[in-house]
Amino acid sequence: MLATVLSGAVRGISSYLMRVEVDAADGLPAFSMVGYVSNDTKEAGERVRVALKNAGYKIPPMRITVNLSPAAIRKEGVSVDLPLAIGLLCAVGEIDESALERIVLLGELGLDGEVRRVRGVLPIVRKAKEEGIHTCILPWKNAREGAVVRDMKIIGVRSVQEVIAYLQAKSCDRDALIPPTRIDLEALFSGNRETTGEDFADINGQAAVKRAAEVAAAGFHHLLLIGPPGSGKSMIARRMPGILPPLTEEESLEVSTLYSVAGLLHADEALVTKRPFLNPHHTITKAAFTGGGNSPRPGVISLAHRGVLFLDELPEFSRMSLDLLRQPLEDRSITLSRTSGNCTYPADFLLLGAMNPCPCGYYPDRNRCRCTDSEIKRYLSRVSGPILDRMDICIEAPRVDVEELTWKRKSENETSEAVRERVLKARERQERRFAGTSLHFNADMGPADIRRYCPLGEREETLLAGLFRSMELSARAYFKIIKVARTVADLDGAERIEKRHITEAACYRMTGLRYWAGKEGNG
C-alpha cells in the first residue's frame, strides 16, 4: 500500500515542502530509500523501525520503499524521521491517510519514540503557510518557534505515541487531546524599547567617542575605534546593544530564520527579539566566519545580521579573514558555493572594530611608544585600504585624564536610556522617510537613494567638493560622508543636511587619514 506524508526541509535559508512517499509491499523483506538522500537521512529507516517497536507498533516483514520528493534536491538532516514513521504506519493500515490531509510533520525520533527538536522549523512553517497548509505537527521543543507564524495551527508533541493518538482521534476531539501552541507576538516585542545590560553611564570621559557611537547606532553605520590600551574602546563597544533601536517584527523573523537554520534557537525562545551582538575571537576559522561545510550553515557574518559584529583587536584577525568582509559589507549578503549548489545568506550587520594604533598601543605618543616606523606600518597594513574605506566612522579614543575618573564625573554621565531615546527618534524619522521602500537605515542608501533623500544646498556641495579634494577621498567615502551627515541631521531633528552636519561627518574620517596617510583605497 502506498502512503504520502508532507514534510519540509531547508536549503540555505530557503525552504521547500517535501513529499515522503512510503510503499509497503509483499516480497523479500527490505528497506530502501531513494530521492538523493545523504547518509544521515538514510539512517532514518533503522531509527524508525526501533522507535515504532518500542512504541508498541511492530512492522511486519515487507518490502518497504521510501521516496523523498523532489528528487533533484539533496536531502540532509534527521527531520524526516517522524513523517517516515507516520507514513509507514499509514502504509501498513494503522493510520488512515485521510487524517494527514494538509498537515506537515517534522521531527527526529529517539529509539524510545521521543520526538526530538530539529533545526530549520521556522522557514519550513512559513513555507507551509504559503502553500496553504493549515496544521504543522512539530517536536514540542520547536512548537513556540513555529507558533510565531500567524494563522497556523502548531501541535507540539513529545513522542510518536502522541502523534498517532492525535491522528487517530476525530477532528473535533484533536484540540482537546493536544491543545495548539499559541504565541502572543505583541508581548514578545513589548520589552524591546527597554535598555538592558551594561550602561553608557559607566564610561567616564570620551564624549566624542560616545557621540560617534550614537551616530553609528542611529544610522547603522560601521564604526572603527582607535586608541591606546585602557581608553575604553571595548567598554563603549559592549554597550552598543543598549542604544540600538529594537528589532521590528519583519527584522526579527529574518534573524530568527537564520538562527533556526543554524539550530541556535532555544526551546523556550520563540523569536530572536534583541539585535544580535557577536564578538568572535581573532583565531576564528574561515568556515566559522563566513559559514559553510558540506551541509552549509550560517557563519558569524550571517548570524550578526541586523545586529552588531564586534571585532576587538582588529589587526590581530588574519588579513584573509578581514578581506572576506569586503563583499558582505558591500552587498549585505554572502554566497557560499558548493558542488551541490549555492547558498546565499543575508549579512546586513553593523561592523564595529576596535584596535590599537601600533603593536605596543601608544603611537603617536613617542614618549611611550617604542615601535619602529616599519613595525607601525606593518601593523596598520593588516587593515587593508578597501576595508578602511568601507568604515563610515573612524574615531580616536584618547587616553582618559585622571579628572574624568572621579565619582563626581560619573554621576554626570549620560545613561544608555537617554542616548537611546535620541536614537529612537532618529530611527522614527528614517522610517517615515523610507516608508514603502526596502531601506531601513540611512546606511542602506545607494547613490540613487542619496540623490533622492539627501538634497544638498550650494554651500553644502561646495564644502563637500573641497573635502573630497583635500582629503583625497574615494567615491565611496564621499557618499558615506553624506549618509553619516544625514544621520547627524536626523539626531538634530533637521529636515535638510546643513554645513555643520557635513563637517561633523567629515571629522569622523580624519582619524583614518592621520594613521593611514595616503591609504584611502578604492577597492
**14-73 pLDDT per residue, tens:** 899 999 999 999 888 889 999 888 888 888 888 999 999 999 988 888 999 999 999 888
Specify if 523 maps to a domain. no
Residue 106 shares a structural domain with residue 135: yes
**Same structural domain, 151 and 280:** no
Rounded to whole angstroms, the Cα distance separating 399 from 231 reads 5
127 Cβ contact partners less than 8 Å away, ≥ 6 residues apart: 8, 15, 16, 17
Residue 216 lies in a domain: yes
Let me know if residue 173 belongs to a domain: yes
Please give the Cα distance from 133 to 106 (Å, whole number): 14
Same domain? For 310 and 351 the reply is yes
Whether 278 maps to a domain, the answer reads yes
Residue 234 shares a structural domain with residue 265: yes
Same domain, 132 and 217: no
Boundaries of domain holding 249: 200-515
Higher pLDDT, 513 or 273: 273
pLDDT band at 522 (very low <50, low <70, confident <90, very high): very low
Query: What's the domain count of the chain?
Result: 2
* 418 in the same domain as 329: yes
Q: What is the per-residue pLDDT across 361-398, written as a single tens digit (0 to 9) for each? A: 999 888 899 999 999 999 999 999 899 999 999 999 99
C-alpha to C-alpha distance for 78 and 64, rounded to whole angstroms: 19
Average pLDDT, the chain: 90
Give the tens place of pLDDT for each residue, 450-491.
Answer: 999 999 999 999 999 999 999 888 999 999 999 999 999 999
What's CA 337's distance to the chain center, in Å?
20
Q: Are residues 171 and 275 in the same domain?
A: no
Residue 355 predicted with pLDDT over 70 = yes
Domain assignment present for 360: yes
What is d(CA 485, CA 471) in angstroms, rounded to the nearest whole number?
A: 17
Domain stop point among 183, 215, 234:
183
The cell for 269 is 525562545
The verdict on residue 130 lying in a domain is: yes
Q: Answer yes or no: is 522 within a domain.
A: no
Helix (H) or strand (E) holding 274: none
> Domain check: are 150 and 204 in the same one?
no
Q: What value does the mean pLDDT take over residues 417-429?
A: 95
Mean per-residue pLDDT, 491-500: 96
The verdict on 112 and 138 lying in the same domain is: yes
Same structural domain for residues 133 and 211? Answer: no
Per-residue model confidence as pLDDT tens digits over 148-200: 999 999 999 999 999 999 999 998 899 999 999 998 888 877 766 565 668 89
Kindly report the CATH number assigned to the domain that includes residue 39: 3.30.230.10
Clarify whether residues 307 and 412 are in a common domain.
yes
Q: Is the same domain home to 142 and 211?
A: no
Asked if the structure places residue 520 within a domain, the reply is no
